[in-house]
Amino acid sequence: MTSFDIKRFRNVARWDLTVNRSFYIKAVSSIFFLMALPFVFSVLYTFAVWIFTDQVNVCRHEILFMAMLYIFIYAWMLIGGYTFHNLLTRQSRIAELTLPASNLEKYLWHTLLTVIGTFIVAFLSMTVVDVAQYLFAGVLKGFGNSHSIVVGIFSDFPELWEFIGSSKFPNMGHLIAVWLIWYIADIGIYVLGNAIKYKYNVILTILFKWVLSMAASVVCIVVIAFFADSIAEAFKTRGTPTIFNFLSSFPWIFTGYALGIAFNILIWWAAYRFYTRAQITSNRNI
């Protein structure tokens, strides 16, 4: 049995995008709507200020970008909870599970669509919103005062790289990489939640993560309390740690990478295992 065949993988993609056309249209529209929300509010704000004060006050493009970025970071994670939308109903489970392709091909298609597809759609949505905000600001305040977010991102890349490599913030690049690895794992938690439970899985995953983070916080407090004396001693001799001098020390970075990669492997493998064990009988898989 060939567990991965690129031609079959392509066929799975075509099949999924065709039979779930309406679902994907809704998904793309939802992402676009979420990304456009900050701009919609900024337009409302502009008109409100105009009506009440007679002044033209357009929201700065950096603020819009930050708002869209925050929305995207949370939305990307939650969208992981819709990875296996084909397992939601009994009928769609039959169609998905009897489709003559390997579990690996179907799993890879769904997860890649969640991780990479969402990113592409969000970026394209941001570009459309960017054009709208550029024109809006240009019309109201003149195009000399109007700035493009997307152009800004690309033109700021050299500065960003310089900032990442700067000696002022040692290992900043590593810190970002570790954060990204843990963020991908976070998406994986929602994917795993969807592989286990097909209904209400997003809410249940949020609750589960909340309980888990509370438990982790308690454990951290207990550990810190236990080592309080030696930590205080270290502060005296080495100075109070900041996020950069504390987290950037090599053992912490290494631990962050190692645990993050191990956790990713565990989460994505577990999601695959649950996916392969899916049955038609119920909306849960445990």
Which of the residues 143 through 182 are near another protein (CB under 8 A)?
none
Asked if 4 and 21 touch (Cβ cutoff 8 Å), the reply is no
Other Cβ atoms within 10 Å of 253 Cβ, number? 17
- Report the greatest alpha carbon distance in the chain: 72
Which of the residues 99 through 128 are near another protein (CB under 8 A)?
99-103, 105
Asked if 163 and 169 touch (Cβ cutoff 8 Å), the reply is yes
Minimum CB separation of residue 279 from another protein in Å reads 5
Establish if 25 lies at the interface with another protein (CB under 8 A).
no
* Contact residue for another protein among 30, 32, 49, 89 (CB under 8 A): 89
* Contact residue for another protein among 93, 110, 174, 197 (CB under 8 A): 93
Which residues does residue 284 pair with via DSSP β-bridges, in sequence order? Answer: 197
Establish if 212 lies at the interface with another protein (CB under 8 A).
no
* Contact residue for another protein among 46, 86, 92, 171 (CB under 8 A): 92
* Cα–Cα dist 110/34, whole Å: 22
* Cα–Cα dist 115/113, whole Å: 6
Minimum CB separation of residue 113 from another protein in Å reads 16
Asked if 82 and 27 touch (Cβ cutoff 8 Å), the reply is yes
Q: Which helix (H) or strand (E) holds 30?
A: helix 21-53
Contacts with another protein: how many residues (CB under 8 A)? 33
Only one of the segments 20-28, 72-80, 112-120, 243-251 lies at the binding site for another protein (rule: CB under 8 A); that segment is 20-28
The owner of tokens 């969807």 is: 194
Minimum CB separation of residue 265 from another protein in Å reads 23
What residue ranges bind another protein (CB under 8 A)? 1-2, 5, 7-8, 11, 14-15, 18-22, 89-95, 97-103, 105, 276-277, 279-281
